[in-house]
Amino acid sequence: MKIMLLAGAALVLQLFLFLCTGSVVMRVRGQKEYSFSSALLIGYFTYFGIFEVICLLCEVALFPLRTLTLIMAVFAAAAILLGLFCGYRSWTESMNSLRYRLKLHGPALAFVLLALAAALLYVILYSDASADSGWYVGTSATALATDTIGRFDPSTGTRVLRFQARYALNCYPYHSSVICSLVRGLPVIVQVRSVMSSINVLISFLSVYYLGRVLFPDSALRGEKIRSIRERPGSITRRRADLFVIAVFFVNVFSSTIYLPGIFLFDRSYEGKSIILNAVLVTVLSISVILWREEDEGHYPFRTMFWVMAAGVCFSASSLMALILAMAAILPLIAIRSRWNLLIPLLLGNLPVIVWAVVYYLIQHGTIVLQTWR
Amino acid sequence: MGGVTVREYGLSFVRVCLQKYIGKSWPFLLIFLAGIAVSILLSVRGKRRDNPLEVVTVDGNDRNMNYGEPDYEEDENGGSTAKMFLSVFLICAVTVCNPFLVRALIPKLGMTAVYYRFFWVIPITFGAAYYLTAALIRVRNRVLRILAALAAAVALACIIPVNPGLLNLKLPTNVYKVDGAVPVLCEAIHADFETTAAYRKALKRSEANIDRNSEKWLRWQAGQYPLCVFPSQIEFAVRQYDPTIRLLFNRNLRLYYEGNRTTGITYDETKVRYQRRALILDAMYGRDESITTESFQEAMEKTRTKYLVVEENLANGGFLTGAGCTQVGVTAGYTIFRYGD
């Protein structure tokens, strides 16, 4: 019972941290349209982008986990305080308009919430003792038990003399170690396989919902007389996005092989690969659609892309796929429409993965040697 | 993807991988591709019909100059989205899914086993869902739309099997979601290990002030925990639950020993390092009668293995106790043996 309460507390703490981080980012950007879901999504990616940088520096400097925990505790406290300051008014406004916004959705929202509840229940109940889970959970658990970052092999517990590029550069598992250091008494295995899985599923649903909003923009009834709430601005896009979320859920349920996104969403949601597949790639796709539609969003899409890519590096080496997707989706647009001015923002947006790829190559070929001892 | 290699399949490697990747979910790929084709067709037809060059105002002036930025109305048929999907598809076809390029590069990059991840770049799931939704919202009547959605769902559910993971749901017996034996075994091993000379030695070392960043500290830190071998069905859960238990086998080595080749990593079975580890497992289960007490003891000492956990009904107990192991206890259906004192 105590562990379940601690798990609940860790879940609320992390969601609130992401929400506050997102609120700060939205305020800094001066974004007018505020919603809890978009703040949560942006905050999630921004947090993991920042975490990657801090954790990687601590790892290479051979700092103990407690130092990383201290830094992240200070960061979290600052993010929460700033978030309260920046987001309080927006939160109040959002809560006041919640009823109206729910009405804009229509009955399909009930099915979306049902699908989300089913997915959450499934990932909380599902137990996976596969070889891969041994590595992911083992990494977090080993870091906490030894008070180190990446200096012991998670699958055996033996010392590692050199950091391996494939694993050392993706710091996502250490986030759970940090959380378990802060929430004393919460077992790492519960944080990774139940709490983080739930958060990742929620983020995945939000990413898909935003992709739906982008794919089905609010336009069809522009200029016509509004007769009911279903024809109000924002209603069409929301209702269609809800249908899209249900359709994606359906496709995931009927993913017949272990390589498709569905299996990663339901059975391996705690893994970095799953987040790449079900949140990072989805967000990159959303950004690409926005650019193809030539919506006037300024540099927001590329700024978002930067943090999504930085978070992608944190999650898994598979962030390379996000880079390939961004290039495959946006480079043709630049070439076809001669929008060469997008080239530099595109490169800057993808910079985290490009830098990661270069460092990875240099470590693999022995140009950079990162020892786990001095 | 287990068993699919560039060496074996050559230029058909990409095709075989795609077949394995998509499996019986091929209707989604079909919907995705058909959706792109139809969208582009509709978009081209729509553009011809509404060609701004043909639009002439009442006063006869060409409005083309004032056409401005395209807005959403123009994209009612998803033309730009389809173009984006098509771009991704074509670029992948000539790069990461190009059989010639893949044959040359993927083995060099060591990505044969994880090549399927490149298919993630092609948004089949989201593209198929997009076109399914787009088709549904074209049905204006609400009742007809619900009926069409149900019909499509039933038809697809009849063709495509359910996600294999969903069918394997087993309710957990504890909050850690591990086999109930794991916590019991870990506790029993720790309780016994704390009575050993090795543990006392480790405690003594911990009193010495060793630099945390030195290699010596790393060695000492690792050495203070018992090194064990568990049955394969629970081994991967052990260090998730209790990271203060060390394991002799790493993930890939254990999978290889058990005959699983999906990792794409192979081990040289003639190497002493592999042979010693395999010998311990063979001896635990009595798989090889030619194993002598001396060779077993040598393997245990060289690898510094302390505990062997075997299923109660499969344990080669007579041999193990005769070769210097002590039966620590029988718990949760498993027998724990300790080597040495």
**Domain stop point among B112, B138, B164:** B138
Instruction: Classify residue B118: in a domain, yes or no.
Output: yes
pLDDT at B214: 87
Q: Find the angle CA(A279)-CA(A283)-CA(A288) to the nearest 5 degrees.
A: 150
CB contact under 8 A, A157 and B171: no
> How many domains does chain B fold into?
2
CB contact under 8 A, B239 and A142: yes
Residue B80 and residue B222 share a domain: no
- The 10s digit of each residue's pLDDT in A219-233 is 645 555 556 666 677
CB contact under 8 A, A254 and B161: yes
| Spatial strand order in the sheet of B325-331 | B246-247, B227-229, B307-311, B334-339, B325-331
Residue B197 and residue B68 share a domain: no
Q: Where are the alpha helices (DSSP H) in A233-280?
A: 235-253, 261-267, 272-275
**Domain stop point among B138, B173, B191:** B138
Q: Cβ(A348)–Cβ(A302) under 8 Å?
A: yes
Residue A311: closest CA among A203, A150, A193, A183: A203
Instruction: Classify residue B127: in a domain, yes or no.
Output: yes
Instruction: Classify residue B81: in a domain, yes or no.
Output: yes
In this structure, of A94-108, A228-242, A304-318, B249-263, the range with the lowest mean pLDDT score is A228-242
Better-predicted residue by pLDDT, A34 or B21: B21
Ordered by start, the domain boundaries in chain A are 2-364
CB atoms within 10 A of CB B317: 17
Q: Cβ(A139)–Cβ(A154) under 8 Å?
A: yes
State ipTM. Answer: 0.93
Q: Is the pLDDT of residue A353 over 70?
A: yes
B199 confidence band (pLDDT: 50, 70, 90): confident
Of A155, A190, A193, the CB nearest to B250: A155
Instruction: Classify residue B278: in a domain, yes or no.
Output: yes
Q: Rounded distance, CA B59 to CA B50, Å?
A: 19
The SS3 assignment for B92 reads helix
Residue A244: closest CA among A275, A284, A286, A272: A286
> In A, which residues are within 8 Å of B237 by CB distance?
129, 134
In one letter, which amino acid is A82?
Answer: L
Of A159, A258, A263, the CB nearest to B219: A159
pLDDT at B49: 57
Residue B93 and residue B34 share a domain: yes
Find the domain containing B211 and state its range: 181-339
CB contact under 8 A, B88 and A211: no
Q: Is the pLDDT of residue A29 over 90?
A: no
Of B78, B128, B137, the CB nearest to A243: B137
Tracing tokens 């870990």 back to the chain, one arrives at B186
In this structure, of A124-138, A184-198, B278-292, the range with the lowest mean pLDDT score is A124-138
**Span A152-172, average pLDDT:** 90
pLDDT at B77: 54
Query: What is the overall mean pLDDT for chain B?
Result: 86
- The 10s digit of each residue's pLDDT in A305-339 is 999 999 999 999 999 999 999 999 999 999 999 98
Q: Is the pLDDT of residue B44 over 90?
A: no
CB atoms within 10 A of CB B136: 18
- Tell me the two tokens of residue B309: 């956990």
Q: Rounded distance, CA A252 to CA A277, Å?
A: 12
**Span A77-82, average pLDDT:** 96
Please check whether residue A359 touches B, CB under 8 A: no
CB contact under 8 A, A157 and B222: yes
CB contact under 8 A, B88 and A333: no
Residue B96 and residue B30 share a domain: yes
**Span A88-102, average pLDDT:** 89
Q: Rounded distance, CA A206 to CA B7, Å?
A: 42
CB contact under 8 A, B214 and A373: yes
Query: What is the overall mean pLDDT for chain A?
Result: 91
CA distance B27 to chain A (A): 10
Q: Is the pLDDT of residue A93 over 60?
A: yes
Sequence-ordered list of residues with C-beta below 8 angstroms from that of A296, at least 6 positions apart, any chain: B69
Q: Cβ(A242)–Cβ(A101) under 8 Å?
A: no
> In B, which residues are within 8 Å of A257 by CB distance?
20-25, 164
Q: Is the pLDDT of residue B215 over 80?
A: yes
Residue B125: closest CA among A353, A223, A281, A100: A281
Highest mean pLDDT among B6-10, B22-26, B263-267: B22-26
pLDDT at A230: 64
Q: Rounded distance, CA A20 to CA A28, Å?
A: 12
Residue B188 and residue B310 share a domain: yes
Q: Find the angle CA(A232)-CA(A302)-CA(A38) to the nearest 5 degrees.
A: 40
Ramachandran angles phi, psi of B208, nearest 5°: -70, 140
Please check whether residue A121 touches B, CB under 8 A: no
| CB-side neighbour CA atoms (13 Å) of B106 | 28
Question: What share of chain A has pLDDT > 70, as a percent?
Answer: 95
pLDDT at A321: 96
- The 10s digit of each residue's pLDDT in B76-117 is 556 889 999 999 999 999 999 999 999 999 998 888 889 999
Please check whether residue B142 touches A, CB under 8 A: no
Residue B272 and residue B128 share a domain: no
Residue B309: beta bridge partners? Answer: B336
Please check whether residue A283 touches B, CB under 8 A: no
pLDDT at B47: 65
Q: Cβ(B305)–Cβ(B227) under 8 Å?
A: yes
In one letter, which amino acid is A19?
Answer: L
Instruction: Classify residue B162: in a domain, yes or no.
Output: no
Highest mean pLDDT among A217-226, A288-297, B288-297: B288-297
Preferred mutation among B75, B101, B121, B214 to probe A, highest tally of A CBs within 10 A? B121
pLDDT at B59: 43
Of B75, B161, B165, the CB nearest to A266: B165
pLDDT at B66: 40
Please check whether residue A257 touches B, CB under 8 A: yes
B61 confidence band (pLDDT: 50, 70, 90): very low
**Domain stop point among B138, B166, B191:** B138
Q: Cβ(B72)–Cβ(A219) under 8 Å?
A: yes
Residue B126 and residue B221 share a domain: no
Instruction: Classify residue B165: in a domain, yes or no.
Output: no
> In A, which residues are within 8 Å of B20 by CB distance?
257, 259
> In A, which residues are within 8 Å of B153 by CB distance?
250
The SS3 assignment for B47 reads helix
Residue B285 and residue B192 share a domain: yes
The pTM assigned to this predicted structure is 0.91
User: Kind of pairing, strands B246-247 and B325-331?
Assistant: unpaired
Ramachandran angles phi, psi of B329, nearest 5°: 175, 165
